[in-house]
Chain A
Amino acid sequence: MAKSVFSNVQAGLPIAVFQLTIDYKADTSPLKVNLGVGAYRTDDGVPWVLPVVRQVEEQMAADRSLDHEYLPISGLQDFTSGAVRMILGDDSPAIVQNRALGFQALSGTGAIRLGADFIHKHLNGNVAYVPVPTWPNHYGIFQKAVQYKEVRTYRYWRAESRDLDFEGMAEDIKAAPEGAVIILHACAHNPTGVDLTTDQWKKIAEIVQERKLLPFFDCAYIGFATGDVEKDSWAVRYFVSKGIEFFAAQSFSKSFGLYNERVGNLAVVMNNADYKNRIKSQLELIARAMWSNPPNHGARIVGTVLNNPALYKQWQGHIKEMSSRVFSMREMLYQHLKSLGTPGTWNHIVDQIGMFTFTGLGPKQVQGLRNRHHIYCLSTGRINMCALTTKNVEHVAKAIHDVVTTITED
């Protein structure tokens, strides 16, 4: 055997979005702006722990009756039931008829992974569809980790007009084989910020039913996108109303600002309550071999808020505040670009929704942003709107103007 067991291990490529932050931290320029990782920032450019979260944490710390015992494999009951009610609505027929299952997971990633594994193992899932573009970890999970036979794409972002290619999307999904998993971003599409209209969702639901496809909603921004939970979960609830069975991976990272506590829920909607226990028991077996049982702290915080009307109201105020700030930054950036006369169309900045904007900048222009202006963003041209502030938005606008007018992508 070779001298070391690992002598043949190659260096892996760093994960782009995290590498960006590493590079940004190393930059000493006072003008630097990190438009990379998706985390909310205040207008002072700093992280924000939601006041209701702090409040609940203090309550928890003072409560001597709380301990650190193992949660059940499926997680904290109060949390998972609250999470399911949040996404489907309190009076959802799926909930009333006991056809909705909630299973705690390690944030959105963990929920997607759990669902992907379950579908692969128990529903013969081997073909998954993702939009172009999508969150890269969708590939990591379905293709590399769980090893579905095929991860196919459906058209989504139309670069020329910087909007949704709905006809392409519908056509591609219509061509999917029966049983294919269709990953759908419930709202605030990552990375483009371009969402479907309600009419377009209706069409997709129709196709899903016609073609007997299995929808898997990625719900990382419910409440964060518009500040209104009901609005942001419209698509998911509509699918319930049509009797469609599906999976939904819920992340509470952004909506509760609990990024590092890894709070997530996998919601499964079925058309017969009899399946619930079976599905749960199989999810337990998968989760047991991954992490045994999920972390307590963050779920306890969210569970407390979701089940307390006064705290819930407070939280609604916070998501309104966050989403409003994002909207105003979109508006500001757009206005600056307009007044600078930056060539191209920029209304997509205000039309898009959620944390991110797909600027339409190319990799060379992105490089120029970094090299000339110390502005860091992904080479896809995705920028985190939360990182814009009233203090830096002009600098960013001017930088965009500069690279657009002086650097061409070929």
Chain B
Amino acid sequence: MALSCAGNILKDNMMRCVPVASRASSWWSGVEMGPPDAILGVTEAFKKDSNPQKMNLGVGAYRSDEGKPFVLPSVRKAEEIMMAANHDKEYLPITGLADFTKAAAALAFGENSEAISNKLNITSQAISGTGALRVGANFLQRYFPGNNQVFLPTPSWGNHTPIFTHAGLKLGAYRYYDKNTCGFDKAGCLEDISKIPEGSVILLHACAHNPTGVDPKPEDWKELSQLVKSKKLFPFFDMAYQGFASGDIDRDAQAVRQFLKDGHQIMLAQSFSKNMGLYGERAGAFTIVCESEEEMKRVESQVKITIRPLYSNPPIHGARIAATILNTPDLRTQWLGDVKFMADRIINMRKMLADNLKKEGSTHDWSHVTDQIGMFCFTGLTPEQVERITKEFSVYLTKDGRISVAGISSANNSYLAHAIHQVTK
């Protein structure tokens, strides 16, 4: 292998260059290996394990009680309808499928939303939650007149940091998770938020906080809303689990709707990956709530300009599935049932796990397992305990002690409880 001085671009790629691993230096000599993705790393290791009792509690995708990916019945139905409709493949507008974006906004804000009826929202289709966050980040970087610093809860979804950083924004943090209670650090949170410089951006997880599963109570949200308002902060909501958290789409959107009620101009990133199981189809929406319809139009024009150099216009398939479901009454009803079904299974697994831990004889307080909500549970396991549980029991999870409850089944629940007890007793 011939690596010439690092950083030197193509010293000798001359006429005589022979395309074999050669002595010619290359453009790439300065390219470093990127850090491995922690979560994917878990799955890689899991795949290599031959233990028949192994469990993958890493990736955040819903699994059935048989441990398999789950295509929602309402999604299948929608796809049948779509196939029969014989749609063409023409480009979508930059902001995507209108039937989808309208329905997505109404889902988030409520059918009777004043913001929507006053045409204050610009809602654009986005490449799932990530894409919505990125468009928002790019938009903030260019047009936000305040302090271009985004404050994230500690901890937050790992990808928040690179998204905002790549868009050129600075980051800050506010306390959120209390590792002593495995619950919400309300005092710390309010204290830190009150210290955030005026005009900054505050990122909030609308429901089913990732990775902790710890959500503020409705009264807490009211307090947060007032505080954010008094500190003149700009709220950016990340809602990736509406419906998936409690099984009730309205309940899960309460925080967002509270803020709207309180007069905040919010930004919102919505994902349909989990609540419709549309992971790989990248169905998402990005919303900015403006002050007037006139302002909305100006902002919309700039959102389009933000999107064009990223991917021009969005992919239709997932959005059309979602639109078909949301806009067809009996499909929508079916979907609400599908979502409740998934959420209930998760809630049951939590209950079962807490019960099983008690049965094992664990004396620890495991109430956080059932108090927390959504796909993930911050178990409280230390990195050493995580290492042990992986090594000795082939239970795979991320170092921070986060488990994907979706990866637990009624068949392996007691095994997991046993393993957790063994490493924590």
Chain A residues with CB under 8 Å of chain B are 1-15, 18, 37, 39, 46-49, 53-54, 57-58, 61, 67-71, 73, 93-94, 97, 99, 105-107, 109-110, 113, 122-124, 137, 140-141, 144-146, 178-179, 206, 209-210, 212, 214, 240, 242-245, 253, 257-262, 270-275, 277-279, 281-282, 284-286, 288-298
Option from A10, A124, A209, A295 in Cβ contact (under 8 Å) with B9: A124
Interface pair B298/A18, CB less than 8 Å apart: no
- In angstroms, Cα B409 to Cα A283, docked, is 35
Interface pair B309/A141, CB less than 8 Å apart: yes
Q: Does B128 have its Cβ within 8 Å of any Cβ on chain A?
A: yes
13 additional contacts (CB under 8 A) given A12-B305, A209-B13, A289-B162: A11-B298, A47-B90, A71-B280, A106-B127, A113-B309, A245-B26, A245-B28, A253-B91, A257-B89, A260-B313, A271-B13, A273-B21, A281-B33
- 7 nearest CB pairs, A to B: A106-B311, A281-B34, A4-B291, A296-B280, A145-B309, A12-B301, A297-B317
**CB-defined A-B contacts under 8 Å, sample of 30:** A1-B145, A4-B265, A5-B145, A6-B291, A10-B302, A11-B302, A12-B298, A13-B301, A18-B93, A37-B91, A46-B88, A48-B88, A53-B89, A68-B75, A69-B279, A113-B311, A179-B10, A243-B17, A243-B24, A260-B90, A261-B317, A271-B24, A282-B32, A285-B34, A286-B166, A289-B130, A289-B167, A291-B311, A293-B282, A295-B281
Option from A9, A93, A292, A293 in Cβ contact (under 8 Å) with B143: A9
Option from A3, A13, A277 in Cβ contact (under 8 Å) with B33: A277
Q: Does B134 have its Cβ within 8 Å of any Cβ on chain A?
A: yes
Chain B residues within an 8 Å CB radius of A294: 282
Closest Cβ–Cβ distance, residue B277 to chain A (whole Å): 6
Interface size band for B? 35 or more
Interface pair B1/A274, CB less than 8 Å apart: yes
Option from A15, A47, A210, A291 in Cβ contact (under 8 Å) with B282: A291
Interface pair A137/B309, CB less than 8 Å apart: yes
Option from B22, B92, B134 in Cβ contact (under 8 Å) with A290: B134
Interface pair B90/A259, CB less than 8 Å apart: yes
Option from A6, A94, A122, A270 in Cβ contact (under 8 Å) with B30: A122
Option from A73, A93, A140 in Cβ contact (under 8 Å) with B309: A140
- In angstroms, Cα B1 to Cα A274, docked, is 8
Closest Cβ–Cβ distance, residue B27 to chain A (whole Å): 6
Interface pair A9/B282, CB less than 8 Å apart: no
Chain A residues within an 8 Å CB radius of B297: 11
- A1-B146, A4-B291, A106-B311 in contact; A272/B21 too (CB < 8 A)? yes
Option from A13, A261, A285 in Cβ contact (under 8 Å) with B162: A285
Q: Does B295 have its Cβ within 8 Å of any Cβ on chain A?
A: yes
- In angstroms, Cα B28 to Cα A245, docked, is 10
Chain B residues with CB under 8 Å of chain A are 1-3, 7, 9-10, 13-15, 17-22, 24, 26-28, 30-34, 36-37, 59, 61, 69-71, 75, 79-80, 83, 86, 88-94, 127-131, 134, 143-146, 159, 162-163, 165-167, 198-199, 232, 234, 265, 273, 277-282, 288, 290-292, 295, 297-299, 301-302, 304-305, 308-318
Chain B residues within an 8 Å CB radius of A270: 26-28
- In angstroms, Cα B15 to Cα A214, docked, is 15
Closest Cβ–Cβ distance, residue A148 to chain B (whole Å): 12
Interface pair A278/B79, CB less than 8 Å apart: no
Interface pair B28/A275, CB less than 8 Å apart: yes
Option from B2, B7, B159, B298 in Cβ contact (under 8 Å) with A9: B298
- In angstroms, Cα B36 to Cα A277, docked, is 11
- A259-B89, A272-B1 in contact; A110/B310 too (CB < 8 A)? yes
- A113-B309, A212-B10 in contact; A15/B304 too (CB < 8 A)? yes
The closest CB in chain A to the CB of B308 belongs to A140
Interface pair B89/A47, CB less than 8 Å apart: yes
Closest Cβ–Cβ distance, residue B398 to chain A (whole Å): 16
Interface pair B90/A5, CB less than 8 Å apart: no
Interface pair A7/B21, CB less than 8 Å apart: no
- In angstroms, Cα B282 to Cα A113, docked, is 18
- In angstroms, Cα B311 to Cα A282, docked, is 19
Option from A39, A61, A262, A295 in Cβ contact (under 8 Å) with B80: A61
Chain A residues within an 8 Å CB radius of B69: 67-69
Chain B residues within an 8 Å CB radius of A57: 83
Interface pair A122/B31, CB less than 8 Å apart: yes
Option from A12, A54, A292 in Cβ contact (under 8 Å) with B130: A292
- Greatest chain B CB density within 10 A among A93, A240, A262, A286 is at A262
- A7-B291, A278-B32 in contact; A70/B315 too (CB < 8 A)? no
Interface pair B21/A97, CB less than 8 Å apart: yes
Interface pair B20/A97, CB less than 8 Å apart: yes
- In angstroms, Cα B37 to Cα A285, docked, is 9
Chain A residues within an 8 Å CB radius of B317: 261, 295-298
- In angstroms, Cα B17 to Cα A94, docked, is 13
Closest Cβ–Cβ distance, residue A120 to chain B (whole Å): 11
- In angstroms, Cα B90 to Cα A37, docked, is 10
The closest CB in chain B to the CB of A245 belongs to B27
- In angstroms, Cα B314 to Cα A123, docked, is 29
- A94-B19, A110-B311 in contact; A6/B71 too (CB < 8 A)? no
- In angstroms, Cα B159 to Cα A9, docked, is 28
The closest CB in chain B to the CB of A298 belongs to B315
Interface pair B34/A272, CB less than 8 Å apart: no
- In angstroms, Cα B88 to Cα A273, docked, is 41
Interface pair A106/B91, CB less than 8 Å apart: no
Option from A58, A105, A282 in Cβ contact (under 8 Å) with B31: A282
Chain B residues within an 8 Å CB radius of A293: 280, 282
Chain B residues within an 8 Å CB radius of A244: 13, 17
Closest Cβ–Cβ distance, residue A218 to chain B (whole Å): 13
- In angstroms, Cα B309 to Cα A15, docked, is 12
Chain A residues within an 8 Å CB radius of B299: 6, 9
- In angstroms, Cα B277 to Cα A343, docked, is 60
Interface pair B282/A6, CB less than 8 Å apart: no
The closest CB in chain A to the CB of B280 belongs to A296
- In angstroms, Cα B17 to Cα A291, docked, is 37
Closest Cβ–Cβ distance, residue A304 to chain B (whole Å): 15
Chain B residues within an 8 Å CB radius of A124: 7, 9, 30
Option from B7, B59, B301, B310 in Cβ contact (under 8 Å) with A106: B310
Interface pair A292/B128, CB less than 8 Å apart: yes
Option from A67, A113, A288 in Cβ contact (under 8 Å) with B159: A288
- Greatest chain A CB density within 10 A among B33, B288, B298, B309 is at B309
Chain A residues within an 8 Å CB radius of B316: 260-261
Interface pair B91/A271, CB less than 8 Å apart: no
Closest Cβ–Cβ distance, residue B248 to chain A (whole Å): 23
Chain B residues within an 8 Å CB radius of A68: 69, 71, 75, 277-281, 318
Chain B residues within an 8 Å CB radius of A298: 315, 317
Closest Cβ–Cβ distance, residue B21 to chain A (whole Å): 5
Chain B residues within an 8 Å CB radius of A273: 21
- A97-B20, A292-B130 in contact; A70/B27 too (CB < 8 A)? no
Chain A residues within an 8 Å CB radius of B165: 289
- In angstroms, Cα B34 to Cα A11, docked, is 39
Interface pair A12/B17, CB less than 8 Å apart: no
Option from A10, A12, A73, A243 in Cβ contact (under 8 Å) with B304: A12
Closest Cβ–Cβ distance, residue A387 to chain B (whole Å): 13
Closest Cβ–Cβ distance, residue B296 to chain A (whole Å): 9
Interface pair A271/B26, CB less than 8 Å apart: yes
- In angstroms, Cα B315 to Cα A212, docked, is 37
Interface pair B22/A144, CB less than 8 Å apart: no
